[in-house]
Amino acid sequence: MSNRTAEEIRGGRVMSTQMQFDKALQHERDIEANFWESQAPKVAGLGVSVADPESVHGPGETQRAINWLGMLDRYAQSVDQRVKMAGWMETFAQRGGQLVIHGAAVSDLDFFAGRYDLVLVAAGKGELVSMFERDASRSPYDAPQRALAVSYVHGLGPRPETPDTESVRCNLVPGVGELFVMPCLTTSGRCDILFWEGIPGGPLDVFQGIKDPGEHLAKTLELMEEFTPWEYARATKVELTDANGTLSGRYAPTVRKPVGRLPGGGAVLGVADVVVANDPITGQGSNSASRCAAAYTAAILERGEEPFDEAWMQQTFDRFWDFVQHTTKWTNAMLAPPPEHILNLIGAAGELQPVADRFANGFADPSDFEEYFYEPEKTEAYLKSVTGG
């Protein structure tokens, strides 16, 4: 059940940024739903630039203190969710699924819970999400940590240092926010996404009142010229992919309890962002959603003829949480001002390619950060092991 048709989604506003790494892409290959893999840019690396705080004082004058590119073991890809969700809905119907176009309310779920073995809820916001209780023990933030502003563009030039390598760029501006630049496949072909994450109340938190897409892009470029002139230099000829190619907003990163209880006594199971909505600073949303779908599917198949009761729902979520807890921990850590040992690690990656590569591949498997990221002692030991010191 969807409140929009496939055509309405395809012709509507962009819904997100997304970058899927190999494990998430593999889930789509496994069920033969990877329709766009041959068309989408194959992202081979992930780069980090850090603006020198001392040089941030005027358009074009900001310098980079750190700049490196880590190489991924296997490529990543980004497909505009307008393309992907619309295509999947059509395929679902073609493969025999019943697709109902109707905005679901709690009363609908009450009805379905009595008629179906299992009801799953995948919603971004609104009445349905409010059925799921916030898990305070897993949600350290109760307010948005970034103001988000997205532009999908054509015409971005290649990166001068690595013109032949498709890569995601993470540009960190200390005390201000982050700019992410990523290749993508959209409704009109290959494009790039320019994505500002601004600290609330800071100089990047200026998109709330902007309704005009052209004005949104102009503000994006103006901020790039001031804070990331090395990216602005290749963006002087960009234009929006379409009139719906911008998005802005903010939300508090939240983990919710997986079982939603209905007025009639039934229960429903939350999926993906309903239960784990991390900030997009680490680009993990679509990866986590894919993992969630794969974990739930496996649990459904294993259940056989047994009922999908509340205990099973909790166990099924716990299985997903075993993986996604690492994503949540890392994402929340990246929202905070970096401690000295993390700055040292990011700096070392500029001198030591194995460190850059390992950090890049952590986006594909965030559990690896447990080994060397959070504790200064582990970071120091890891860097010594790489340098032989």
41-74+145-249 and 104-141+254-334: identical CATH topology: no
CA distance 194 to 149: 8
**Residues 324, 236: Cα–Cα separation, whole Å:** 38
pTM over 0.85: yes
The span from the CA of 74 to the CA of 48, in Å, is 18
* Per-residue pLDDT at 329: 97
Q: 72-110 pLDDT, tens per residue? A: 999 999 999 999 999 999 999 999 999 999 999 999 999
pLDDT, residue 324, reads 97
Contacts of 200 by beta carbon, 8 Å cutoff, 6+ apart: 143, 144, 145, 146, 147, 250
CA distances from 263 to 107, 110, 112, 113, 131 (A): 8, 7, 12, 11, 10
Q: What value, to the nearest 5°, has the Cα angle with vertex 199 and ends 198 and 204?
A: 40
Domain boundaries, the chain: 41-74+145-249, 104-141+254-334, 340-387
Q: Which CATH number fits domain 104-141+254-334: 3.30.540.10, 3.50.50.60, 3.40.50.150, 3.80.10.10?
A: 3.50.50.60
What φ, ψ does residue 45 adopt, rounded to 5°?
A: -145, 165
Closest to 271 measured CA to CA, from 72, 129, 100, 102: 129
For residue 388, the model assigns a pLDDT of: 86
- Domain 41-74+145-249, second-level architecture: 2-Layer Sandwich (3.30)
Q: What's the CA angle centered on 250, arms 275 and 281, to 5 degrees?
A: 75
pLDDT score for 376: 97
> What is the average pLDDT score of the chain?
95
Based on DSSP, count helices (H) and strands (E) in the chain, helices before strands: 11, 13
Q: Residue 262 in contact with residue 268, Cβ under 8 Å?
A: yes
